[in-house]
């Protein structure tokens, strides 16, 4: 037991302790029974957690395609930062619960490098965690802050607001589809596939829209990040806000990588229901659209207006529809 504890501590020391310290509010980080943290009196604390499980959120090791640990570290922090971005929060801290099947130095080094590359970019102090042996499971809790009363909730959408989404959708889901196809078809060589080469980073190393979220905090009435699929995530806004949404088919920003797919319906389906894009979907009063579009463009972020918030149709039960009233036959990712 004593020996096991020793190696657990050296693992923490080597790969996770003392690697990031950006905030004066970090009074005590990794090393004690708990971290000691403080936020200024004029700000609120935002907290969110996400888990990634091998075989569920990323492909199992040993299959033809396996994710490199650097990307896993990157993505674990990225998906959490994306949740924070969707509230308009600014990142502060993270804690990491790491369950690994074995002590693999090479793996830990890479994972830690990926994680801290993102921590450096987005100024996140890793202030604690837990390390256990078991099936590969990566959990990270993120802490951020926003000025009091300013965090953007899902519940603020108003009838007449425009519905917007950043950049484009569908690549991550398309990459998963191509990888799955290649697992069942040995003639499809993943490494040679130019589409995969050029777009895999969208799946493996997403860029959370943190600065964009901070701008949108002052303009949007409701916001969500697109992690389970656009329609599924927009439904969350509709349900929380007690409103409906109508979308325009031609306005959905389908990623250009999907142009190889023959059918328009299939392309649209990936963009509407594919998860893992980590774009931001927000609602906004039409009068603020121009300014916000300009401000986001300065960050290199495109905005598409994809529809409008309408009165809730209580009898119907389906909150998100095409503008002509027809159903959008898509469901986002659900674990159960």
- The verdict on 16 binding ligand ADP (CB under 6 A) reads yes
To the nearest whole angstrom, how small is the minimum distance from the Cβ of residue 123 to ligand ADP? Answer: 17
Among 128, 244, 274, 332, binds ligand ADP (CB under 6 A): 128
From the list ligand ADP, Mg ion, none, partner contacted by residue 126 (C-beta under 5 to 8 A by kind): ligand ADP
- The verdict on 5 binding Mg ion (CB under 5 A) reads no
Per CB under 6 A, which of residues 29..48 are in contact with ligand ADP?
A: 30-33
Q: In whole angstroms, what is the distance from residue 175 CA to residue 204 CA?
A: 10
Contacts of 262 (CB under 8 A, 6+ apart): none
To the nearest whole angstrom, how small is the minimum distance from the Cβ of residue 33 to Mg ion? Answer: 4
To the nearest whole angstrom, how small is the minimum distance from the Cβ of residue 17 to ligand ADP? Answer: 7
User: Shortest CA distance to 157 belongs to which of 309, 281, 292?
Assistant: 309
From the list ligand ADP, Mg ion, none, partner contacted by residue 244 (C-beta under 5 to 8 A by kind): none
Helices (H) and strands (E) counted in the chain, each on its own, are 9, 12
Nearer to ligand ADP among residue 113 and residue 190 (C-beta): 113
Nearer to Mg ion among residue 5 and residue 184 (C-beta): 5
Taking every pair of Cα atoms in the chain, the longest distance, rounded to a whole number of angstroms, is 68
To the nearest whole angstrom, how small is the minimum distance from the Cβ of residue 132 to ligand ADP? Answer: 9
Site string for ligand ADP, 96-115 (x = CB under 6 A): x-x-----------------
Q: In whole angstroms, what is the distance from residue 74 CA to residue 91 CA?
A: 15
To the nearest whole angstrom, how small is the minimum distance from the Cβ of residue 60 to ligand ADP? Answer: 22
Burial of 1 (0-12, 13-18, 19+ CB in 10 A): exposed
Among 3, 4, 5, 33, binds Mg ion (CB under 5 A): 33
Q: In whole angstroms, what is the distance from residue 247 CA to residue 242 CA?
A: 17
Q: Specify the 3-state DSSP secondary structure of 282.
A: strand
To the nearest whole angstrom, how small is the minimum distance from the Cβ of residue 31 to ligand ADP? Answer: 5
At residue 5, what are phi and psi to the nearest 5 degrees?
Answer: -60, -45
CB atoms near residue 153 (< 10 Å): 16
Q: Which stretch binds Mg ion (CB under 5 A): 26-34, 74-82, 98-106, 320-328?
A: 26-34
Per CB under 6 A, which of residues 131..160 are in contact with ligand ADP?
A: 131
Residue 158 DSSP symbol: -
CB atoms near residue 100 (< 10 Å): 18
Q: In whole angstroms, what is the distance from residue 80 CA to residue 91 CA?
A: 10
Tell me the two tokens of residue 169: 């959708």
Contacts of 103 (CB under 8 A, 6+ apart): 7, 11
To the nearest whole angstrom, how small is the minimum distance from the Cβ of residue 81 to ligand ADP? Answer: 17
Q: Which stretch binds ligand ADP (CB under 6 A): 56-64, 124-132, 239-247, 266-274?
A: 124-132
Q: Which stretch binds ligand ADP (CB under 6 A): 122-130, 165-173, 246-254, 278-286?
A: 122-130
Q: Which stretch binds Mg ion (CB under 5 A): 10-18, 31-39, 86-94, 139-147?
A: 31-39
Q: At what angle do helices 264-273 and 171-184 cross, to 10 degrees?
A: 110
Which positions lie near Mg ion, rule CB under 5 A? 33
User: Applying CB under 6 A, which residues contact ligand ADP?
Assistant: 12, 16, 30-33, 96, 98, 126, 128-131
């Amino acid at each position: 037991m004593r020996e096991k504890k020793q190696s657990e501590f050296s693992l923490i020391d080597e790969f996770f302790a003392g690697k990031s310290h950006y905030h004066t509010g970090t009074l005590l980080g990794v090393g004690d029974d708990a971290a000691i943290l403080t936020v200024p009196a004029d700000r609120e604390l935002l907290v969110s957690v996400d888990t990634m499980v091998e075989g569920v959120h990323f492909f199992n090791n040993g299959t033809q395609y396996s994710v490199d640990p650097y990307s896993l570290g990157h993505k674990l922090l990225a998906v959490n930062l994306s949740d924070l971005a969707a509230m308009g929060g600014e990142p502060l801290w993270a804690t990491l619960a790491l369950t690994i099947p074995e002590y693999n130095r090479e793996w830990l080094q890479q994972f830690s490098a990926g994680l801290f590359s993102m921590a450096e970019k987005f100024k996140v102090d890793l202030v604690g965690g837990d390390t256990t042996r078991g099936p590969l499971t990566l959990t990270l809790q993120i802490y951020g802050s926003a000025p009091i009363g300013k965090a953007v909730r899902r519940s603020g959408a108003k009838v007449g607001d425009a519905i917007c989404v950043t950049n484009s959708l569908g690549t991550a889901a398309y990459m998963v589809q191509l990888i799955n196809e290649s697992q069942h078809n040995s003639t499809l060589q993943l490494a040679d596939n130019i589409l995969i080469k050029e777009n895999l980073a969208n799946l493996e190393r997403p860029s959370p829209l943190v600065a964009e979220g901070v701008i949108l905090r002052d303009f949007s009435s409701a916001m969500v990040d697109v992690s389970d699929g656009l329609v599924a995530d927009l439904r969350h806004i509709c349900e929380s806000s007690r409103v409906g949404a109508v979308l325009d088919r031609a306005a959905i920003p389908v990623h250009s990588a999907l142009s190889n797919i023959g059918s328009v319906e299939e392309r649209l389906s990936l963009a509407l229901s594919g998860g893992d894009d980590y774009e931001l979907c927000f609602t906004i009063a039409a009068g603020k659209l121009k300014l916000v579009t300009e401000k986001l463009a300065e960050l290199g972020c495109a905005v598409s207006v994809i529809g409008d918030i309408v009165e809730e149709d209580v009898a119907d039960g389906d909150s998100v529809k095409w503008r002509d009233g027809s159903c959008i036959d898509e469901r986002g990712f659900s674990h159960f």
